[in-house]
Amino acid sequence: MNHVGILDLDSISPHVLHIATFDGFLFKLTTTTPLITEGFNIICVILCAMLIVSLAQRFFTRTVGFFSAIIFLLMPNWYLYSSLIGVEPVWLLFQLLGLYFIIRILTNDWQWTSLRFWGVLILAVICLFVAKELRPLTLIIVIAVVILGMFKVPIIPEFTGGLTPSQTHTRQYFWKPRLAILLIFGLFFGLNQVSTTIDRSIYQVPIANSSIGLKYTLAVGTDPKTHGMYSPQLISQLEKPNHNHKLTDQQRFAEFDQILSRKLLTNRHSLIAHHQTSQVITTKNEELMDPNYGIVLLDMNTNQPISSRSLIAKSLVPSVTTISTAVQLNILFLVLIGLSIQLIPEKASQLQQRRQNGILLCASMLVGFTLIFMAVEVQARYQISFYIPWVLLAGVGMNGLALLNERLIR
């Protein structure tokens, strides 16, 4: 690929190679047709809904899980996008699998010598690492899990008959999950450090260090001219050394590093001098939260420029977009209700402790993704990053409204 020029700038974005490899493997098992990918994505959506029910049940209740799954399946943006070719459904599936295995470790009283404990732990690391290889944004999920492990409310089994838990038993429930989370983070971090070496060995092509890829997404994300979105000007600057065959791989990557470093410095001076920071962040959030991308992308992918025929009538796009916007606003309203419910005092119990841990995990993900998108490149489809905390918190909010309605009826 490198010799014929197909690799292009994927050398600084190896996750593109990982996505292509996954699709290629899927096509080898089946046939080369978009319908295969679309069908596979729909299967991933169903599996994601099942995992959401399981996660919500372990943190909250089964009812919250069903509410969350229904919200997830009925999100118009997600439903429309899942019928298009893209890696987002697979990425979300591996994130949910990683969280599912981690929560199993935190909620089961397995011994350190148990083979099941180590098997589930290794599966958690593998799933999170695969998700990270598809989209580097998965790092936020890992950080949120570490925060949960360090600050979680210990859920100690309730003892009856007047007995109290021993000090040893209490310490076990305090330290064991924290040590397990640190071990998961250590293994994930170790794999992340050697991921570039692994890519070079598998693909046998030059792959830049991850620091260059990080500089690229920061250079794009902080560009006031493009408001943190795709920058054709920066791409053209990188293409010059990329297609200079007189340069060695190391020299080419050094040129990339210099161009990106200069771009970051220019962006910083421009943001400070022209006071554009708030404007750029606002525009990036508008792009990230754009409710149009589902129907618009479906229209773009099904439109036939040769003829006047199209799967979707142009007149439907504005009305469907309005419906999508209304649904998104309602979901965010439910998220606020789910967070606000935690302000109501409640008697300490296992359910209350589990709910606090679930809220901590969801809030950590929300804050993490919100902060990271202020700095890195944004695209409308990256909104899917928020779907896990959104649907879980919205499920809590919907369940709270249902309980309130039940009390009012009584």
What's the confidence (pLDDT) of residue 145?
93
What's the confidence (pLDDT) of residue 291?
62
Tell me how far apart the alpha carbons of residues 82 and 77 are, in angstroms, rounded to a whole number: 9
Write the DSSP string, 186-233: HHHHHHHHTHHHHHHHHH-S----HHHHHHHHHHHHT-TTTTTS--HH
What's the confidence (pLDDT) of residue 290?
73
Which residues, 6 or more positions from 210, have their beta carbon under 8 angstroms from its beta carbon? Answer: 192, 195, 196
Q: Coil, helix or strand for 309? A: coil
Residue with tokens 């064991």: 176
What's the confidence (pLDDT) of residue 292?
59
- CB 399 within 8 Å of CB 64: yes
CA distances from 153 to 1, 211, 354 (A): 51, 36, 8
* Helix and strand totals (H; E) in the chain: 17, 0
What's the confidence (pLDDT) of residue 162?
45
What's the confidence (pLDDT) of residue 296?
66
Tell me how far apart the alpha carbons of residues 355 and 222 are, in angstroms, rounded to a whole number: 37
- CB 361 within 8 Å of CB 59: yes
Helices 88-107 & 34-59 angle (0-180, nearest 10): 30
pLDDT mean by block of 10 residues, the chain; 410 residues: 57 85 79 75 90 94 94 78 73 95 84 86 95 92 91 58 50 74 92 89 87 91 89 89 86 92 92 87 84 64 55 72 82 92 79 88 94 90 90 94 79
DSSP state of 248: -
Tell me how far apart the alpha carbons of residues 359 and 353 are, in angstroms, rounded to a whole number: 10
Residue with tokens 């209304």: 326
What's the confidence (pLDDT) of residue 173?
64
What's the confidence (pLDDT) of residue 122?
95
What backbone phi and psi angles, to 5 degrees, belong to 146? Answer: -65, -45
Token code pair at residue 285: 């959030």
Tell me how far apart the alpha carbons of residues 125 and 183 are, in angstroms, rounded to a whole number: 10
Both ends of the chain: CA-CA distance in Å? 69
